[in-house]
Structures are given as C-alpha cells and as structure tokens.
A and B are shown apart, each in its own frame.
Chain A
Amino acid sequence: MNQEAARTDSDAIVELCGISKSFGGARALINVDLTVARNSIHALVGENGAGKSTLGKIIAGIHQPDRGELVVNSDRATWRSPRDALASGIAIISQEPTLVPQRSVEENVFLGVEAKRGRFLVDTVRVRDRYRELSERLGFDLPASARVGTLRLGDQQKVEIMRAVARDAKLIVMDEPTAALSKVEADRLLADVRGLRRAGMTVIYISHFLEEVLQLVDQVTVLRDGKIVRNGPASAETPSTLVSAMVGRPVSLAFPPKSYPSSDAPVILSVRGLTQPGVIEDVSFDVRRGEIVALAGLIGSGRSEVARAIFGADRLARGTITVRGRPVTIREPRDATRIGVVMVPEDRKGQGLVMGRSILENVTLPHLDRFSWAGIIDRRSERAEGAVAVKNLDVRYRQLSAPVASLSGGNQQKVLFARWLVVRPHVLLADEPTRGVDVGAKLAIYQLLCRLAQEGMGILLISSELEEVLGIGHRILVMRRGRITAEFDGQTATEGDVMRAAFGTSEDDAGDLIGEQR
C-alpha cells in the first residue's frame, strides 16, 4: 500500500502538538498533544473550565494557540479566524447560539453561502429547495420563514446544526450541542451525528452528558485543568471511570435518597385550568409541602410557560392559583415573590443574572427593602445576609464584590438559588437548574433541592434530563403540546414511561381513555 495514500485516507484529520494557550495570566491549555482520526467521532469531556471548549475553539480557528502546532490534513495550519478554518472544511457549533435573531431560519442557515443568481441576487427557489433537502436529511421540521429570535433555545440550536451542515464541513466541532435539547430531540441529534460519520465526516464532540458520549463516540479524551488526563477508545470507559478522571477522585453519580412528604402534608401550591392560548391549555396540578414535582416533556411542550405563568412572568388568559390554601392574583413577578413563590429561570445569563454586577448585588437584588432605611442601603447588613446565603450554597468565590461573570457556570447557578434563599419561600419553581453546569455542581444542586423539600418547601422542577426527573422527582408530570398528559409516581416510573408520554406514542393514551370511559 502506498504510504502517502494511507496517510490521507485513514490517518489523522487533525493533529495537535504541544498546544498551549493562556488568557491573561490563566493557562487554559498546557502542552496538549492530541490526534483526531479521520471519519470518527471524538469526544472531549471535562469539568467546566477544564479547557475542552478552548481546545475545540483552537481547532476551529476561533482562538490561536500561544505555542504548539496544529496540523490539518497533514498541512500545518496557521489560522487567523474561523473563516480560515471553514475554508479547510472545519466548522464549529458553539455553546451559545450565534445567530441573527431578526432574520429567518432559512436566511440564518445559508448566511454567506446562499444560492445565487448572478453575483448579487439570492436565488430564493434554490435556497428553499436546499433548505427542504437539509431539513429532511436531519429530520428537523423548523419552518423556513420563522424568525430565529422567536424560537426557543432548543430550536435555535437546531438552526446552528443545520448551518454547519449546510457549509459542507468535513469536520464539525460541536460544543454541548444537546445541552438545551430534550431527550427525544437529543437522541435524534445523536443519530444525525452518526449519520455524519457514515457520510465520511469527522465530529469533535464536547459534552457533559457522559452516557450520551459513551454510546455515541469512538474515542474519548478527558481534560482536567488544561491537560489531557485520559485518552482512549470509548468502549473501554464507563461514566464512572470518566468522572473519576475528570475530577481526579472517585465521585458517586448517585442522587441523594428521596424523602417523600408524609401522606397528610398540606397542598402548598395548587393551580387549576391555567391557560394561555396556543401555549398552555387547562393545566391543573398540586404541589404539597415537602414535595418535589418534576415537570417533564419535550422542548416547546409548555413546561417553562407553566412556571412563568405561575410566577407572573407571562400573562395568563385563564386559571386560578392557590398558595397555602389562599387564592392569589399574580400579575407580575413581584406579586409572586411577596407571597413566597420564587422562580429560578431557565436561561441563567439572559433571564437570571446581571452579569456585569457583583455576586452580592445579584443575590440581594430582590431584597434591598430589607436592608434599606429611607432608600439607603445598609451595606453591612446586606453583606452579612448575602454572605450567609452564598455560603449556605457553597458558592466558590473569591470576593463577594467580584462580578458574577467571573464565576463558573455551576457557581453562577448557585448564586441564583442563593438569591431566593435569602428569604424562605414556600414554593420554588426551578427551570432547568442544572443546565450547562459540571458534575460536581449538579450533585450539589440535587442535594440542595432535596434538602429544601425536606425542610418543607414545595418544589416544581422542570428538566429535560430524564435521569434528573426520575432521580429526584417525587411525582412526575409529563407535558405534551401545552397539556399535562401523564402523571407518574417517582418510585415506579421508568425512562420509557416518561419518554412515551412526552412523545405521545399512542397506545397508552388510547388505553387510558378507554379505561376512563368504563
């Protein structure tokens, strides 16, 4: 066999030799050597801040290494921008969507690579055809003309994926592509990634979801503090071997034990007939003192909207809300917080934190009245109470006055919880509380939710992670198309039950209906 042919056909598509990268004084990557085999799926895993995203961004030309060599297709690559990388067939799908929210799905997908008539005119017919083709290939059904800004996060991620595929990339770096997707949508994406491999492409896959990684990829590389600490075929790994490598010590992935509320625990939150036309229809349920009710369902099934409606973030058309036995009117979030109903929103950066302000200010923002006399804040008591709240949640910080943006994702999420635990709310609505946080912070949040429930809070947990829903939910409600379609006991439910209800596989529904009629 010709040696040169062997090199180009089967060997590495990307080789990294001694790559180092620092940001200011912080070393993000230290002397990294890595080979990515052509036509494979290669996972990079590690805790937040381990350097996996930086590595992905160097391969895709977003960052330039300080030292070391990047070899692509046996040629030394010195890229100055993602555009250079794209010219060599490397695209990246980043963690945060980088779309033009005011323009349509189609325009975003083909931005810069539109089919043209002549030099300047966009050939709308061909663009529409190519869009349809691409949608069918990926099994996505986003309307071509929908404005991207009106789509939910999960759907925006899909647009990102379509955009990379539309660019004929030979290697796609995917940074947490499923973080915002529900289980069903994530599974579909995984199938698509396998499809990309069948088509001869290479995927570098960065993810927190270890199960997902192990069933998907050929090779796994574990990073810790900017160095590669483990690298080998996925078949030789298990979630616990990966986690041990990531944190450098064995960690149990187990959920804290469930402690169910006593059977006579009073109902603390009761909603009846919540309706917002086209979004949620006739949603009714109760949450008892000390109970964790998990709200599962696909992205777009109306889960977040239920929480937002209860919290007063969106207007309700119809429905009644009863808190601790008293009917209440909630028109805006301040009405909710006054009666002890609080919400941790799904989008930490967009809806939760004021990123430019300090940790302390973010924690005490809703409670300034408590520390103020004649409108002037008593900074000593603010600091004292804020520090207690932050310490209770074990937020790792250097100074309370440091900007909240300087914290890792997990710690930012804890700050959001700390904000509401300064006071003792009766009802906590937690929307995707573990999205984009590392394993350690996830466990801490699970423990926190269980502790709060034990102390008598009623919790509505919204999550796209089935493991989480089953792992800590006392009761599981499944939503589909704006309605609650199924309810399961947290002790006996299985992933299959919840998934089938969320996806609406028909036999169960029909069976239930018949059962009721009798």
Chain B
Amino acid sequence: MNSASPSDIAGAETSQGRIPLLLQRLRSTSSLAARIRDYGIVVAFGLLFVGLSITSSSFLTSTNLLNILDQNAALGIIACGLTLVFIAGGFDFSVGAIFGLVGVVSAEVAIHVATFLGLLSGVLVGLTLGMVNGTLATFGRINSFIATLATSIIIGGLAVVIAQGQLITVSDPAFASLGRGSVGAVKYTTIIWFIVAVVATVMLTRSALGRYIYAVGGNAEAARLSGVRVNLIRGMTFAISGACAGVGGVLEASRVATGEADVGGVNLVLTVVAATVIGGTSILGGEGAIWRSTLGLLFLALIGNGFNLLNIDPIYQQILQGGIILLAVGIDAWARRGAP
C-alpha cells in the first residue's frame, strides 16, 4: 500500500465499509419472494391485461376500460383511505357500513334540505365517524379491528333506522349529476378517484404526515421516542379513511340517485381489503403505497371483467379471488422470512 497520507484513511474506509456493503447486497438479493411481493402485482396485472386483450375483442375498447374505472371509483377511493390505515398499523372494518350510512344520510338531506348539502353532508358524516373510530382505536386503547367491527355494526344499524328499511330515491336530477356526469367520455367519478389517489400519494411520499404514518406503522415506540404523536397520527388515518368512505358513499348514492342502507356492508370491506393486500401493502403496517392498492383493485376488476367477457360462470370468480389473496399474503410472509 502506498504510504502517502490520504491513502491510509481510504484504506481504512474500504476495509470497514465492506461489511455493511455485503449486508446490503445480501438483503437486496436474498429473497425471491421479496421481489415477487414488490413487483408481482405489476407483472400479474400486465399479464392479465395482455391476456384479456388477446382473448376478448371487446376488452381493449375505451368504452369497456372507462366503464371499469367508473364502476370501481368508489372502491378505489375507499382503498386509498384504507391503505393509509394499514400503513399506520391499523385496520378499518367500518368502511362498508360508513359507505351505506352516508348514502342514506346524503339522500335524506338532499330531499329535506338541499341537494348540494346532501352531497357535502355525506362526506362530513364519513369524516366524523372516522374520527370516532380513530379516537376509539388510539386514545380508547381498543384494538382497531374490534373497535371498527363494533362501530360498523352500530353504523349499519343507524343506517337502517334512518332509512326505515326503505330505498330513499332522490328525484332532483342535480343529485345524480355528480355520479353520472362526465367530461368527454371520462366520468366525474373516475376523475375524483384520480384526484384522491394523487393527493394521497403526494401526502404519503412527500409530506411530513406521510413520513409519520410510515414511522408509526413501522415502529410505534421509535416514533414516539422521536417526538411523533403516535395516537394523533394513527387517529388521523382513521379519519381520512372515514372521509374516503364518505366520498365513496356519496358517489355511489349519486350514481343511482338512491340511498340504500345495506349497499356497502361486509362484501365491500372484503373487496377493498383484498385489493390492498394483493397490491402488496402489509396488514402488519410500515409498508405499502397507494398505487399498489389501486393496481390491486384494478386487478380484481379485470378478473371480474374477464369472467364477464369470456362468459365464465361467476361462481369461479370467487374461488379464484380467494386463491389470489392467499397467494399474495403468502408471498408477503415468505418475503418477511428472509428479512432480518
């Protein structure tokens, strides 16, 4: 080794730097499962998209694709909110019930007060209920799955009480304009979904709140000792999730010009949870992304669409979806096995 003065320092650096470097390589290449988890949804979605384009002539048409987006807009918005809750380490079971109640409330307000207030009140009701969930699951110290399961039952009951077991139809065409209107061929619903997804993405990746959400879900104690208000951050994810369910509920009610108490329910929750998990957001918290859940939802939508176009019995769709969820969660578990 050359004995000029800087080379000593350089030599020391390489000999010590090697160990962390090795570890880095080790962890980035060790696990095939981790790779599949990270990019599996992209590959799966791509393959399905190409496959359907080839097998069905009516799949790759703008009408069909825009239709898929419109039909999934409400779910997609709810998935954005749920993704935040998951990343912060919580679980929100109540989005389906909020979705239903909000439709009923906005229809009632639209009929009895004013159409515009009807649409707005739906979102506010969702936000409020989300804040209740957040408070129960953080300051109330109740496990978030149980807390939101309980509130979802209460909310579902409230919706039935308010609707008195009836469909509430709004005759004012202005109420339906939000759900049915479009800019060119693109529905408002699709545009609103897009905006929500972009805002949520920016919030997660670029804002301090987003960082706190990841930190709280990744290691709550470390976040607290770093001065992060863990309960407040977790609570906010529930509030946002409630608001998203509110927006979704309003769009749906507006689209059919009707408030219906049991329109959301458990099935909606299961679909959105499935989409989020298939996309690769972990229910254990600390990791995930909006684009993942969005792609996960679209993947499920394409399966449904494909079954339709190819005339396959929809019973098989359920079986396939369950299998895909197992696969996604299994890959996540295998990926974690290789991690430290």
Contacts and interface: CB of A to CB of B under 8 A. Distances in A.
Describe B's contact surface by its main secondary structure.
helix
B61 interface: no
Interface string A339-378: 0000101000011111111000100011011001001110
A377 B225 contact: no
A11 interface: no
B206 interface: yes
Interface string A360-402: 0100011011001001110100000000000000001110001
B211 A361 contact: yes
A332 B223 CA distance: 12
B340 A354 contact: no
Contacts of A411: 20
A409 B304 CA distance: 48
A329 B37 CA distance: 46
Contacts of A356: 218, 286-287
Interface string A154-172: 0000000000000000000
A398 B21 contact: yes
Contacts of B339: 405
A108 interface: no
B20 A26 contact: no
A375 B222 CA distance: 21
Contact of B215 (A225, A332, A354): A354
B16 A396 contact: yes
B215 A406 contact: no
Contacts of B4: none
A82 to B, nearest CB: 15
Contacts of A27: 22
Nearest to A49: B19
A25 interface: yes
Contacts of B219: 350-351, 353-355
A407 B20 contact: yes
Contacts of B227: 333-334, 337-338, 366
B13 interface: yes
B214 A23 contact: no
A408 interface: yes
B229 interface: yes
B27 interface: yes
Contacts of B18: 225
A440 interface: yes
A390 to B, nearest CB: 13
A353 B222 contact: yes
B19 A351 contact: no
B69 to A, nearest CB: 28
A225 B225 CA distance: 35
B25 interface: yes
A247 B218 CA distance: 34
Given A379-B206, A406-B20, A407-B23, A355 B218 contact: yes
A225 B222 CA distance: 32
Nearest to B339: A405
Count chain B CB atoms within 10 A of each CB in A48, A337, A361, A376 and give the residue with the most.
Answer: A376
A79 B264 CA distance: 53
A288 B340 CA distance: 40
B3 to A, nearest CB: 14
Q: How large is the interface on B (under 10, 10 to 19, 20 to 34, 35 or more residues)?
A: 35 or more
Contact of B24 (A352, A354, A379, A406): A406
A205 interface: no
Interface string A47-80: 1111000000000000000000000000000000
Contacts, number: 128
Interface string A4-27: 000000000000000000011111
B5 interface: no
Given A24-B28, A365-B223, A365-B226, A248 B16 contact: no
B224 interface: yes
Count chain A CB atoms within 10 A of each CB in B17, B26, B226 and give the residue with the most.
Answer: B226
A354 B26 contact: no
A407 B22 CA distance: 9
A311 interface: yes
Nearest to B18: A225
B13 A406 contact: no
Nearest to A344: B225
Contact of A377 (B19, B208, B215): B208
Nearest to B286: A356
Given A248-B15, A406-B27, A372 B340 contact: no
A313 B20 contact: no
A379 B205 CA distance: 10
Count chain B CB atoms within 10 A of each CB in A24, A25, A337, A354 and give the residue with the most.
Answer: A354
Contacts of B19: 47-50, 225, 408
Contacts of A225: 18-19
Nearest to B282: A356
A357 B218 contact: yes
Contacts of B212: 368
Contacts of A303: none
B30 A23 contact: yes
Contacts of A24: 25-30
Contacts of B223: 354, 365
A354 B22 contact: no
A419 B215 contact: no
B28 to A, nearest CB: 7
A402 B19 CA distance: 15
A338 B26 CA distance: 39
B285 to A, nearest CB: 9
Nearest to B229: A334
Interface in B20-77: 20-30
Contacts of A351: 219, 221-222, 225
A333 B225 contact: yes
B207 interface: yes
Contacts of B27: 24, 403, 405-406
29 contacts: A23-B26, A24-B25, A26-B23, A27-B22, A49-B19, A49-B23, A248-B15, A332-B224, A332-B229, A334-B227, A337-B226, A351-B221, A353-B219, A354-B215, A354-B222, A355-B218, A355-B340, A356-B286, A361-B215, A365-B211, A368-B211, A368-B212, A369-B208, A375-B207, A379-B206, A396-B20, A398-B20, A398-B24, A402-B24
Nearest 9 Cβ contacts at the A-B interface:
A49-B19, A24-B29, A334-B227, A26-B26, A368-B208, A354-B218, A24-B30, A406-B24, A26-B22
Given A365-B215, A366-B227, A403-B27, 18 more contacts: A25-B25, A26-B23, A26-B25, A26-B26, A28-B26, A49-B19, A49-B23, A225-B18, A332-B224, A338-B227, A343-B225, A355-B219, A365-B211, A377-B211, A396-B16, A398-B24, A405-B340, A419-B226
